[in-house]
Amino acid sequence: MTNPSKQELEARVDLAAALRWADRLGLGEGICNHFSVEIPGRPGHFLINPQGLHWSEVTPGDLVVVDAAGRKVEGRYGVEPTAFFIHGAMHRSKPSAKCVLHTHMPYATTLTVLHGGRLEWASQNSLKFFGRVAYDDNYNGLALDDAEGERMCAQAKAADVLFLANHGIIVSGPSVAAAFDDLYYLERACMLQVLAMGTGQPLRMIP
């Protein structure tokens, strides 16, 4: 880091804390998946977690700065290839998406591997996301170019949560705190649904 502003330091602390808490809550997967946030006061520049570090060990100083085209601007580590094809597309297509969280968290991802899997309005937690969810029902493999990232993220439109078929989820929000709150409650809602479906009994839907 080269003389970051107070706002950038706060963003670094917030993003590193989100990564560490996501690991504590079992929302990560090895050293895969990525969180990003636009740097306050630096439009078109984003912090993202580096390739190769486990979320439990990421510090504010480890985060990498990239620009809107996904080019590395600052940082001693590299960035996983698919990371900014996904995050860059979301940040570019949704000005409100200041923070973008992509995970393969188990219960939400379970719904993406079911034919026609959807978040059902069967729990109080699920209602937090009513009218805020979109689905990409076509799995095209790893997002290794801008076209695939843009195709995936185009499905989100006005939604804050995007379920990716056979893959995982993307949550976006105006801040790290808001996006992380959604990430946590999304997984809880999906957990309740998957556990309830496992009983073989019908879901009690909320009108």
pLDDT digits (tens, 9 = 90+) for 94-110: 889 999 999 999 999 99
Amino acid occupying residue 141? G
Across the range 72-77, mean pLDDT stands at 92
Look over the chain and give the mean of its residue pLDDT values, rounded to a whole number: 93
State the pTM of this model: 0.95
pLDDT for the residue numbered 152: 82
pLDDT for the residue numbered 1: 59
| H or E, element range at 24 | helix 6-24
Across the range 43-61, mean pLDDT stands at 95
Please state, in angstroms and rounded to a whole number, the distance separating the CA atoms of residues 60 and 131: 34
pLDDT for the residue numbered 9: 97
Report which of residues 69 and 9 the model is more confident about: 9
pLDDT tens digits along 15-25: 999 999 999 99
* Winning range, highest mean pLDDT, from 77-91, 149-163, 164-178: 164-178
pLDDT for the residue numbered 88: 85
Across the range 166-191, mean pLDDT stands at 97
Rama region for 131: left / alpha / beta (φ>0; ψ in -120 to 50; rest)? left
Block residue for tokens 């493999």: 141
Cβ 129 vs Cβ 120: under 8 Å: no
Check pLDDT > 70 for residue 125: yes
